[in-house]
Structure formats: structure tokens, C-alpha cells
Amino acid sequence: MSARVVTVAQQKGGAGKTTLLVQLATALAAEGRKVAVVDIDPQATLTGWMRIREHEARSVPELRFAMVGGWRLGVELDRLVREVELVLVDTPPHAESEAKGAVRRADLVLVPCQPSPADLWASRATFDLAAKEARPARLVWMRVPPRGRAVEEARAAVARAGWPVAAAELANRQAYVASFAKGLGVVEAEPKGAAAQEVRALVRELAALL
């Protein structure tokens, strides 16, 4: 059976695409899954994180890695799906043409979104792209503050739009930033912390969807 492909896409920069991808990838690898991560974003944030992981992180599960131009993604995915269980693709913002191929090949599209108007406006374009390609998509709330009117307004806006939303959310925690800077995920850096619990909950939800 070939691997499942999960594309992380969002038209707005800074929404947390790479953070979401690396947290999921490291949590799945910690469970013994064979995972590959693919960077098609010219900003290469995922590539930079992998370099830190390869040079500084020790005694952590291996992640297969590839950085390819968007036009070569299909060839790379054809290879990886025969070698691993799950492939996670990090896409560029503001580049529908680059993201389109990754969305088309996805078994699931994850749309990271902070509870802000700008993120919500950008998410619409990503959901429209997923719908056009007939791919299932889920919004994942990122950097969620503990409370506030903006959060409730954002939830209400998503409900009105009718977008499917993951039940698990990633809160606004320093643990995500700190682990990323070390080339790790929170399940590796702080396995008993609240952030790790959030990521594991999202992984369980992801497994059920796939």
C-alpha cells in the first residue's frame, strides 16, 4: 500500500505551515512511523530546520527529506510513496501554481490558521483550491490564545464558511518556538508538556481521517 500524502497549504505567510508540519512529522516518527517531509517553498524554512536537526539533534527518529521545485514534485512523490508510510509537503504562500500540484496529490490538505481576520481571508483561497481539486481539507487552529473575543469571532466566521475544522488545536506556546530552533518537535523536546499533548491529539485525529 502506498503512503498517504498530506499537504500543508496556506496562502498567507506566517500562519504556521512549517511549524505544523514539523510537529506532526516528529510526533509520527516518534510512534515508529516512516515519515518523509518535502519542501517546495523557496523560502526553505523546512530545509533550514532539517539542517539543524541533522547537525545538532541526536537520538531522534530519522525523517526522510527532499527539497524540490514544484514542477518536480510529482516525480519525487512517486518515489517517496513507495518507501515511507506518510509524506508531508510544505508549500509556499502566495503561489497558487506551486501549491496546486501538491494539493492535487494530497490525500488530505491541512490549512493552518491563526484566529485573525488576515488568516481567515487567506484561508478561503486555500479551501477554494482544495475544492477545485476535489481534495478533502481541514483547518487547524494555530497559536490559539487562551481566551478573547477575537478567538470567538474567528470560530464563528469559520462556522459560517462551513469549513471542516480539526478538533485538536495548537495553542500559543513558547515550546513550539523553542523546539523548532533545536531541530526538534515538542514531543521530542518536552514529551510530557502540554504542547506535546496537543500535537499527539492532532496526530490521532489525522490518523482517523487517513
Q: What is the pLDDT of residues 163-200, one digit of tens each?
A: 999 999 999 999 999 999 999 999 999 999 999 999 99
Query: What is the 8-class DSSP label of residue 178?
Result: H
Band of residue 103 on the pLDDT scale cut at 50, 70, 90: very high
Instruction: In whole angstroms, give the CA distance from residue 156 to residue 5.
Output: 30
Element (H, E) at 141: strand 137-141
Q: What is the pLDDT of residues 112-123, one digit of tens each?
A: 999 998 899 989
Q: Is the pLDDT of residue 70 over 70?
A: no
Q: Is the pLDDT of residue 1 over 60?
A: no
Q: How many distinct structural domains can be found in the chain?
A: 1
Mean per-residue pLDDT, 37-50: 95
In degrees, rounded to 5, the angle at the alpha carbon of residue 200 between the alpha carbons of residues 195 and 203 is 130
% of the chain surpassing 90 pLDDT: 78
In degrees, rounded to 5, the angle at the alpha carbon of residue 14 between the alpha carbons of residues 25 and 43 is 75
Strand partners, 66: 38
Q: Is the pLDDT of residue 17 over 80?
A: yes
Instruction: In whole angstroms, give the CA distance from residue 18 to residue 182.
Output: 14
* pTM exceeding the 0.85 threshold for the entire prediction: yes
| pLDDT given for residue 150 in this prediction | 86
User: 173, 69, 163: which is closest to 121 by C-alpha?
Assistant: 163
82: domain range? Answer: 4-209
Domain harbouring 104, CATH code: 3.40.50.300
Report the amino acid identity of residue 34. K
Of the spans 1-15, 132-146, 147-161, which averages the highest pLDDT? Answer: 132-146
71 neighbors 122 (Cβ within 8 angstroms): no
| pLDDT given for residue 102 in this prediction | 92
Mean per-residue pLDDT, 90-116: 89
User: 166, 99, 93, 87: which is closest to 133 by C-alpha?
Assistant: 99
